[in-house]
Amino acid sequence: MFELRKDIFADERDDSLKEVGRPTQRQDMLGHVTGTSAFYDDHRFANLLHLKILRSPHAHARIRSIDDAAAARAPGVKRIIRAADVPVNLNTLLSLIQFGKDDEPSLASDVVRYKGEPVLAVVATSERAALEALALVRVSYEPMPAVFDVEEALKPGAVSVNAAYPKNTFEYYNKYDHQKLRFGDADAAFAQADIVLDERYQMSPIEHAPTETNGSIAVPDTNGRFTVYTSTQALFFSLDTAAKINAMPSNQLHFIGGTVGGGFGGKVDTLTEPLAILAARLTGAPVRHRLSRHEEMQFGSPRGGERIYVKDGVMRDGRIIARKVRAYFDSGAYTRLSSYAAVKCAAHIPGPYTIPNVHADVYCVYTNRTPATAMRGFGVTALDFALECQMDKGATAVGLDPLEYRMLNAYRDGDMKAHRREAKNCALIECAQVAAEKANWPLREEFRRMSSRAGGGAQRTGGGGADRTRAPASAPAASPRPAPATPHRVSYERPAAAAPSPTPPPPPRGPAPPSAPAPAGSTHGAPRFSSVFGTRRR
């Protein structure tokens, strides 16, 4: 089932890995199969109180008044928590790393900006008592126009969603309304391209749906501290966030967690801990704040929806000479982590392909939707969906095999990326070759011989020289634009001067031969071969 292909790049590896390729039992597995792993809710406390949230039924509304008198008198109710009770009722998650403005209240005070936004909390002796009390709260709302579409939100005169960002875009460095990437001259290259593909992609929000919902229990300790059992994926991140919102030093909080019933990014938002701690402070009792399945699915932050426009300029021989991307991240009503997702998206453009002219604008946009958050590769996943669909369309347009089209355009070692970084330790071509082999997908001989090493076995833009940074749309494009492409095959053999040998070329030798003693310092494999630190392949 698991196979290590050590034959690939064998000359660059010293096989010092001690664990990879060998089975190792996980230390938490016995607990999982015996039902003894302690999740946050597997701790029991006498006189536990339960916190439930009253949520906005409107996507955008002004709160005129809140009448909670009847709820406060309801059986079992110990405390009502209102916006004014929250010590620091405005926060943004990444403020811990000085990234972005505080924009999200724990409990809304004047305006609700998405359906499901917390307005008030009830603390009672049982979940049922808390829910019955919530039903007695009367809130008078004045509904306001709402915006649910990222591009609508950017139009002049659009509803302003988030008071901290009135133009509905996150501000990078308090100044820029989007992430920008420029490399070469995409527009000039489009004019020379044989084919221009302009496409639109949309990915909907996706809920993580962990089997364990978000939750926490805050327990007053005897020394003025609070012990917090939590489902969080980010223990110290949540600790600091909870300390900030409760205006208390973080050494008064002891967070216990790490056993998480599925997270996938949906348990980094510190959704429950701050109010559980506040409730424990206000009542002196242990308080559990557990999201119901309905709350988890409807109001737990999802992967954000993304809209991505990709425009490619492609030559008939299959080379992509220009790529223009316009991407909109739907952050929902507040920032959470989408500002960072847009940075990741911009950093990933144009995908693992050497394209000499790249132009991208990536926006983090506010709408009256549930705030979005992290989820498995967020920022990159939807972009890759768009780019790889685009690659298939490009291959079809020029009549190339989709895998060969990707291999033709793949990064080779030494290529200059649009971000002005040299591509290192590339392996897409080798991955494609192995995948093709496994799937019995026929590759032509020249593609079976291709390599990610410098040069790489195909004549491409700029000829593999060091000069790709400035390579504009290249010469073959000067011919008039042809009729729609029909399937055809062209050769990607390297120029005669660098004709490939029938067998794979001998691996290029760096100054340090593979058999040489490892350099001083760490001999661990990962840093030496990672794309960030790896310098070994020449």
Contacts to another protein by CB under 8 A: 1-2, 25-26, 28-39, 41-42, 44, 208-213, 259-264, 292-294
Q: Least CB distance from residue 212 to another protein, whole Å? A: 5
Q: Least CB distance from residue 374 to another protein, whole Å? A: 15
CB contact set of 430 (below 8 Å; sequence gap of 6+): 8, 9, 451, 452
**Would you say 73 or 128 has its CB closer to another protein?**
128
Q: Do the Cβ atoms of 304 and 205 come closer than 8 Å?
A: yes
CB contact set of 13 (below 8 Å; sequence gap of 6+): 6, 514, 525, 529
Q: Least CB distance from residue 391 to another protein, whole Å? A: 26
Q: Do the Cβ atoms of 370 and 118 come closer than 8 Å?
A: no
**Would you say 295 or 361 has its CB closer to another protein?**
295
Closest CA to 362 of 326, 332, 337: 326
**Would you say 250 or 292 has its CB closer to another protein?**
292
Cα gap 476→478, rounded to integer Å? 5
**Would you say 26 or 420 has its CB closer to another protein?**
26
Q: Least CB distance from residue 298 to another protein, whole Å? A: 13
Q: Least CB distance from residue 208 to another protein, whole Å? A: 8
Q: Least CB distance from residue 161 to another protein, whole Å? A: 31
Per-residue buried b or exposed e for 382-412, using 16+ beta carbons within 10 Å of the residue's own CB:
bbeebbeebbebbbebbebbebbbbbbbbbb
Cα gap 384→321, rounded to integer Å? 19
| Residue 18 falls in which region: left (phi positive, over 0), alpha (psi -120 to 50) or beta | alpha
Q: Is 517 exposed, middle or buried (0-12, 13-18, 19+ CB in 10 A)?
A: exposed
**Would you say 34 or 65 has its CB closer to another protein?**
34
**Would you say 160 or 292 has its CB closer to another protein?**
292
Q: Which amino acid is at 489?
A: R
The DSSP secondary-structure symbol of 462 reads G
Cα gap 274→177, rounded to integer Å? 30
Q: Which amino acid is at 3?
A: E
Cα gap 115→60, rounded to integer Å? 7
Q: Least CB distance from residue 388 to another protein, whole Å? A: 21
Both tokens of residue 505?
């070329």
Q: Least CB distance from residue 43 to another protein, whole Å? A: 9
Q: Least CB distance from residue 431 to another protein, whole Å? A: 21
Both tokens of residue 51?
């916190």
**Would you say 219 or 260 has its CB closer to another protein?**
260
**Would you say 126 or 283 has its CB closer to another protein?**
126
**Would you say 62 or 128 has its CB closer to another protein?**
128
Q: Least CB distance from residue 61 to another protein, whole Å? A: 28
CB contact set of 443 (below 8 Å; sequence gap of 6+): 401, 403, 404, 407, 433, 436
**DSSP per-residue codes, 237-259:** HHHHHHHHHTT--GGGEEEE---
Closest CA to 460 of 448, 474, 446, 449: 474
Q: Least CB distance from residue 11 to another protein, whole Å? A: 30
**Would you say 117 or 296 has its CB closer to another protein?**
296
Q: Per DSSP, what are the bridge partners of residue 330?
A: 365
Q: Do the Cβ atoms of 342 and 170 come closer than 8 Å?
A: yes
**Would you say 49 or 398 has its CB closer to another protein?**
49
Cα gap 407→457, rounded to integer Å? 10
**Would you say 116 or 351 has its CB closer to another protein?**
116
Both tokens of residue 377?
């590769």
Q: Per DSSP, what are the bridge partners of residue 124?
A: 50, 77
Q: Least CB distance from residue 201 to another protein, whole Å? A: 25
Cα gap 320→354, rounded to integer Å? 8
